């Protein structure tokens, strides 16, 4: 990294099977190549994502998936802040590796979770088994909540993007707001409800499509 700082939220040293950090870049700051896969979501500012000589200029709400071995760089065109997820790729027999992707969250149709119109999900990566993880945004209207306490094999990295709410982790309850991060180990009981007068939204990672 050049003219940039990484605020590391979780990684293998903590027990996570992926690394997630917030990158804060000065104008002209740069992320260099990644050893594994990289996913980034631009929270603030402007940036250029260069992939094999092709430049994509992005603004807040844009995201990029950069597969393992993909030659790329990320350069801030103004002060920028982005969520970055990195993970070694787990290949799957009979499936091609995923290809690079640059898109915008707003281009993905929102769908209600379990028919609850007050809780909308956007799936930023395809559910194609070539991907070994998923990243979604989830938006809750004030007072909306998950319909159950979840316990499952997937681990999560969660970054609050907007609003506030209450998160249950195990037997503890935590007030959370925009800017907060949560790492959830596999089989951690979890539940969220939105509080306040404006919608709550978070970006959430989970491992997927692998045993």
Tens of pLDDT, residue by residue, the chain (211 residues): 999 999 999 999 999 999 999 999 999 999 988 989 999 999 999 999 999 899 999 999 999 999 999 999 999 999 999 999 999 999 998 899 999 999 999 999 999 999 999 999 999 999 999 999 999 999 999 999 999 999 999 999 999 999 999 999 999 999 999 999 999 999 999 999 999 999 999 999 999 999 7
3-class DSSP state for residue 78? Answer: coil
**What would the two tokens of residue 194 be?**
């939105």
Q: Is 98 exposed, middle or buried (0-12, 13-18, 19+ CB in 10 A)?
A: buried
The whole-number pLDDT of residue 32 equals 85
Give the SS3 label for residue 71.
coil
Coil, helix or strand at residue 77: coil
Q: State both tokens at 56.
A: 């994509």
What is the CA angle 54-94-136, rounded to 5? 55
Q: Which of 179, 149, 150 is nearest to 164 (CA)?
A: 179
**pLDDT attached to residue 33:** 84
Find out whether 42 and 59 touch, Cβ atoms under 8 Å: yes
CA angle 65, 107, 206 (to 5 degrees): 45
Among candidate residues 117, 39, 128, the one with its CA nearest the CA of residue 84: 39
- End-to-end CA distance of the chain, in Å? 33
Nearest CA among 211, 186, 205, 203 for reference residue 90: 211
pLDDT given at position 211? 77
Give Dmax (Cα) for the chain. Answer: 50
pLDDT for res 119: 98
């Amino acid at each position: 990294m050049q003219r940039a700082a990484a605020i590391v939220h979780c990684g293998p040293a903590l027990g996570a099977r992926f690394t997630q950090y917030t990158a804060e870049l000065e104008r002209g700051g740069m992320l260099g190549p990644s050893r594994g896969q990289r996913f980034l979501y631009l929270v603030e500012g402007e940036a250029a994502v260069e992939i094999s000589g092709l430049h994509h200029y992005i603004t807040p709400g844009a995201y990029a998936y950069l597969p393992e071995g993909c030659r790329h760089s990320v350069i801030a065109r103004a002060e920028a802040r982005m969520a970055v997820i990195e993970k070694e790729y787990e290949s799957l027999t009979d499936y091609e590796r995923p290809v690079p992707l640059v898109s915008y969250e707003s281009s993905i149709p929102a769908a209600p979770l379990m028919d609850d119109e007050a809780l909308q999900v956007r799936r930023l990566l395809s559910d194609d088994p070539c991907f070994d993880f998923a990243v979604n945004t989830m938006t809750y209207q004030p007072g909306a909540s998950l319909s159950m306490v979840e316990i499952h094999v997937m681990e999560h990295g969660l970054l609050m993007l907007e609003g506030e709410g209450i998160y249950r982790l195990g037997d503890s309850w935590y007030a959370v707001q925009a800017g907060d991060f949560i790492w959830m180990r596999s089989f951690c009981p979890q539940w969220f409800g939105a509080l306040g007068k404006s919608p709550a939204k978070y970006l959430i990672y989970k491992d997927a499509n692998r045993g």
